[in-house]
Amino acid sequence: MSAELSPIDKAKFAAAKRAVQYVEDGMRVGLGTGSTAAWMVRCLGEMVREEGLQIKGVPTSTRTADLARQMGIEVVTLDEAKWLDVTIDGADEFDGQLNLIKGGGGALLQEKIVATASDMMVVIADAAKEVAQLGAFPLPVEVVPFGWQTTRALIEETLVGMDVLGRTTTLRLNGQKPFLTDENNYIVDLHLNRIGDPRQLALVLNQIPGVVENGLFIDICDVVVIGQGDGRVEVRDINEGTIAHDQVDFGDSANIFTDLD
């Protein structure tokens, strides 16, 4: 079945399959949101069914919660778990310091809360997500609906003093209506092209009234697992300063592919 997957899906699956090796019996695990994270949830579900793995999963979105339950993973809230052993999630971009842009799927607020409530954050990605400097992917900023146009204007005014190449902003839509996050907020996407100082930008954006959170994850990610379409994976540990290589076998995971639509 895996032969029917695109190279990019194979790369995402390879990264997810390697990343779940960080999960041990009895752990409390943050479950990320997005296409790559969905592979991780499927891999964990297989471990629950086939190996008897017992974990408590804290999802970062309603759609991840639905998938986790479908895969047989026990789902609890962060308040119930209180603290997590590890969070595994995807990223829209990551740089050499493992700083991230996240929020392409609209779940950045819950993703950041869960990731920072974890002993370790593991990011799974394909090689195309690595960049020399963040910013090619639009930076999501979650804002409250009340006065959102004023908040957007303040963001644009703030960007004038930032080290960025672009300053265009757009309200994310779902059809003809504003996209709503799980917390019923809006998302304004910042088309910056290049972010010269991600740490400064993250701090400044969160000082703007109406801004709930931004998609810059600074000093949060501990490990990135980069998958390739042929099953090769590279594991970078920012704390240990190590880079390791591994090979994922697609053939032993037929159950994951059989329930794909």
Going by the annotation, the residues of the binding site for substrate are 33-36, 89-92, 102-105, 129
Helix (H, G, I), strand (E, B) or coil at 151: helix
- What residue has token string 């809360």? 113
Active site annotation includes 111: yes
DSSP one-letter code for 215: S
Q: Which of 46, 51, 74, 111 is catalytic?
A: 111
Nearest to 236 by CA among 135, 149, 123, 134: 123
For the chain, how long is the longest CA-to-CA vector? 54
What residues are designated binding site?
A: 33-36, 89-92, 102-105, 129
Q: How many CB atoms lie within 10 A of CB 106?
A: 24
* Residue 250 backbone dihedrals phi, psi, to 5 degrees: -70, -25
Nearest to 215 by CA among 119, 69, 89: 89
**Could you give the residue numbers annotated as active site?**
111
